[in-house]
Amino acid sequence: MRETEIEERGMNEKTITLKNYDFKTEVLGGMTTFIASVYIIMTNALILSDAGISPDAAMIATIFTCAVSTMLMGLTSDTPFIVVPGMGINSLFTYTIVNSMGLSWQEALGAVFISGIIFTLIASTKITPILMKSIPNNLKHSITVGVGLLILFIGLQKSGLVVSSKNTMVGLGDLSNKETLLSLITLVIILILNIKKINGNLLISIIIGTVLSLFMGITSLNNLDFAAFNIGAFKEIFLGMSFKNILSVPFFVAVLSITVVIVFENMGILYGQIDAINREEDFQKSFRIAGISNMIAGAFGTSPTIVAAENFSGISVGARGRVAAFTSAILFLLSLFLIPVLKLIPNGVISAVLIFIGILMIETFFDLEKGDIIDTISMVIIITLIPFTYNIVNGISLGFIVYTLLKIATNKYKEVSPAMYVLTILFILNFILNIKMGISH
């Protein structure tokens, strides 16, 4: 394959290599990933506001964190991945660490920053390849399937297709609801365009769905208000971290909880995406940037970050390299001036995209190999508990613990790698500390 090289000169000379991918496809992939994940800007700000951070400041911090981290991802590894504040771990940040444990949002940001340092150190050593080689392939594939089910379930909830039920926990929603109907229509459009292999199917579907929402009265152009957004709010939280209680038990537990979540959530998601683009050689570089991005998040003033599950939307339309990441990063920066426009994209449209992404990830189920009963039990625990507990690390932790304990109980302990034993001990320790602190994920 021919390569074009762009040389950047600085203190250390580095060469950035742009592989000869189809440029239009890469740009389209970057646009698609951005559109599929843009809801995170508003959603994350809403959750962080409950921690005492102003919504406008949280939106700006989220945008800058996404843009800088994604640009670093593109510069460091030739992958199309974006990095965003994790949905779910932002709830841990706000409702557990701040509201339940009593840390201020400034101290919580400090915990995020330190967790990012620990993550980066782990990702910069030989620990990462050892971990990846030590975890059985079936367990790794199970994580991807479990995350896919979680994203699918979130999409079904956001669409209104699945609602809470007093009798059965969940039930079928109101199919006559406009938002639910819009989600179904958008999903059908996505599926048809995907089956017909239309380039940019997700982006086209999002645009069509948003236009339909205007005609259906779900959204209105009257909601556009460029004057209401306060960009100066960012100075309230930039470098607002506090480390004054760094030696306290709550601060230690916060750092441990965040570190466990971001390391293994990123590892699980990134493994599936690296596998999808068939580039194992870029795993550790991407993993390291995922760690650095958490330091950026703490400094800029937002919750912990992960490699976005929504990257599968860009991958599905052909994104394979750094041009897609650069495109997404630029769009995140431009979104500072387009937030009122982006707010027009309704939940019904975004939920359809999430459902489709979940379906794509669940396809990994067919990569699972037939193993013994211990493998099967562990895989089922991971696949089911990730969506049922609404937490990726819960599923991974319990699946790994059960796998190791059953191997020991059946005198097959030699089949378990030393790294798996260490992980099992860490997961058990994390559960014990969380129980003592009254933390529930």
Question: Scanning the structure block, which residue is given the tokens 């991945």?
Answer: 81
Task: Considering only residues 224 and 314, tell me which one the structure prediction assigns the higher pLDDT.
Answer: 314
Q: Which residues of 217-252 are buried (b: 16+ CB within 10 A; e: fewer)?
A: ebbeeeeeeeeebeeebbebbeebbbeebeeeebbb
Question: Scanning the structure block, which residue is given the tokens 């999903």?
Answer: 187
> How many Cβ atoms from other residues are within 10 Å of residue 2's Cβ?
5
Determine phi and psi for 371, rounding to 5 degrees.
-125, -165
**What is the structure's pLDDT at 439?**
59
The tokens for 287 are: 């993993």
**What is the structure's pLDDT at 328?**
95
> How many Cβ atoms from other residues are within 10 Å of residue 380's Cβ?
14
**What is the structure's pLDDT at 62?**
94
Give the up-direction half-sphere exposure of residue 353: CA atoms within 13 A in the CB hemisphere: 33
Record the pTM. Answer: 0.72
- Mean pLDDT is highest, among 53-67, 104-118, 142-156, 372-386, for 104-118
Indicate the Cα dihedral angle 56, 61, 67, 71, nearest 10°.
Answer: 170
pLDDT tens digits for 14-58?
444 555 678 888 999 999 899 888 878 877 887 788 888 888 889
Cross-strand pairs, 15: 7
**What is the structure's pLDDT at 177?**
92
The tokens for 252 are: 């230690």
What phi-psi label fits residue 335: left (phi over 0), alpha (psi between -120 and 50 degrees) or beta? alpha
What phi-psi label fits residue 302: left (phi over 0), alpha (psi between -120 and 50 degrees) or beta? beta
Helix segments in 319-372, DSSP class H: 322-334, 339-342, 347-362
Q: Is the pLDDT of residue 181 over 90?
A: yes
Nearest to 107 by CA among 230, 249, 291: 249
**CB neighbour list of residue 367: distance below 8 Å, 6 or more residues apart:** 141
pLDDT tens digits for 383-407?
999 888 877 778 888 999 999 999 9
Amino acid at 262: I
In whole angstroms, give the CA distance from residue 302 to residue 196. 40
pLDDT tens digits for 351-380?
888 888 788 878 777 767 777 899 899 999
**What is the structure's pLDDT at 227?**
60
Express as a percent the part of the chain with pLDDT over 70: 91
DSSP-assigned letter for residue 233: G
Q: Is the pLDDT of residue 278 over 80?
A: yes
Determine phi and psi for 126, rounding to 5 degrees.
-75, 0
Helix (H) / strand (E) containing 164: strand 162-165
